[in-house]
Amino acid sequence: MSPLAVVTHPGTVKPRDLRRWQKNEAQPVLACADCGVLIVDKLATADEVVTATAVEQRLHVGDREPVVMALPEPRQFRFGLCDACRQRRARAEEIIAKRPMLARSLGDKKYALSAIDAVLIVFDVLEQTGQEQLIDAKIDALRLALKNLSNAGGLARWSSRFAPVIKIGADPEQAGTHRWAHVTEAQLEVMRSDFAQYLRARTFRPEMVEPPEGENGHVALRGCLLCGVSRAPSTSRDDQPWGRLRSTQEAVLGGRGRPEKTYGYLCPACDKATDRIGGALGMNALEEAVYSFLEVSPKLGEFEFGRSRAEIIGLKAWCVTGQPPSTEAWAFLDGLGLEEIKKQLQKA
């Protein structure tokens, strides 16, 4: 038996009269806007209004495979909301009410509610427990859930078959015999895999990773070329936080000028600093990396005549010092008195 029941009542309109039917707000079938289940409660209201702008149609051109096109066709549909979906939406409201910052960072409250509810829909469809735990979850856990689940959850809504585009096969005279009856096996598969991905991401703990050995016969130094840190945190399971292999010459980083190239990697902090000044590895990148480490931003062009930056006398990159790498960034600069330098630069 088809999971979708076409419910016909005496005197209901035929699809060709749909526009009139929608306009007259006669409700031959009231489906839940989210799970699509037939709402049998006679007093239920159809106050979930969705607006379609186009309708999908298969166009046959010659002998070729039919192409699906969306043709403009503004239309409105009205749905209801079953008790279970109403409760789930209330939970989404609760989650957002507790975190006004999250709503703001997502854009507006309406969008945030819809995105969080989409996350909860995945729990709902897959019959996963844990919706309640999300109410008090840390904001990072919620962001992970949003990133991994909101897309598939949103697409599972019954109403998404009618708006913004009326999908092929979507029939407003249908409703589900049970909740989520319209969700296809392919959709379920995506949801299960997204959910597994979400669980893996949630239990991920960053690992401290050493720089790669090098490549193409070029042996990399064992610390960040600029700050000398020996380990960097990975941001995901397969993440290699050290970026690409770089080459430099000692002379451009405060060294004596050995002609051979030096090979190695940049830690994420030094990589970002280098990017900020245009990507070239040199004294400007080195200073920018030190400043961001010290959390200072001396004004440009004021410190010393003829120089565009406040310069730290005697500054060298770790890769030219010959010192061993350290678990602490910039440990080799201790001799220069970093705290004192910071104070001076804050004045600059």
Residues near Zn ion, by CB under 5 A: 32, 34-35, 82, 85, 224, 226-227, 267, 270
User: At its nearest, how many Å lie between Zn ion and the CB of residue 202?
Assistant: 27
Query: Do residues 237 and 290 make contact, with C-beta atoms less than 8 angstroms apart?
Result: no
Helix (H, G, I), strand (E, B) or coil at 334: helix
User: At its nearest, how many Å lie between Zn ion and the CB of residue 1?
Assistant: 20
CB count in 10 Å sphere of residue 93: 14
- Alpha carbons 122 and 195: distance in angstroms, whole number: 8
Nearest residue (CB) to Zn ion, 39 versus 115: 39
Helix (H, G, I), strand (E, B) or coil at 29: coil
Q: How many CA atoms lie within 13 A of 21 on its CB side?
A: 17
Nearest residue (CB) to Zn ion, 333 versus 345: 333
Query: What is the enclosing helix (H) or strand (E) of 132?
Result: helix 131-135
User: At its nearest, how many Å lie between Zn ion and the CB of residue 230?
Assistant: 10
- Per-position b or e across 265-290, b if 16+ CB within 10 A of its CB: bbbbbbbebbeebeeebbbbbbbbbb
Nearest residue (CB) to Zn ion, 229 versus 310: 229
Nearest residue (CB) to Zn ion, 95 versus 331: 331
Q: Is 173 exposed, middle or buried (0-12, 13-18, 19+ CB in 10 A)?
A: middle
User: At its nearest, how many Å lie between Zn ion and the CB of residue 104?
Assistant: 29
Nearest residue (CB) to Zn ion, 10 versus 322: 322
Give the angle 81-163-171 at the CA atoms, nearest 5°: 75
Nearest residue (CB) to Zn ion, 137 versus 246: 246
User: At its nearest, how many Å lie between Zn ion and the CB of residue 175?
Assistant: 10
User: At its nearest, how many Å lie between Zn ion and the CB of residue 34?
Assistant: 5
User: At its nearest, how many Å lie between Zn ion and the CB of residue 224?
Assistant: 3
Query: Do residues 137 and 119 make contact, with C-beta atoms less than 8 angstroms apart?
Result: no
Residue 217 CA, chain-centre distance (Å), reads 37
Nearest residue (CB) to Zn ion, 137 versus 223: 223
- Alpha carbons 36 and 55: distance in angstroms, whole number: 19
For residue 209, what are the contacts with CB-CB under 8 A and spacing of at least 6? 231, 232, 233, 234, 239, 240, 241, 242
User: At its nearest, how many Å lie between Zn ion and the CB of residue 145?
Assistant: 20
Nearest residue (CB) to Zn ion, 13 versus 243: 243
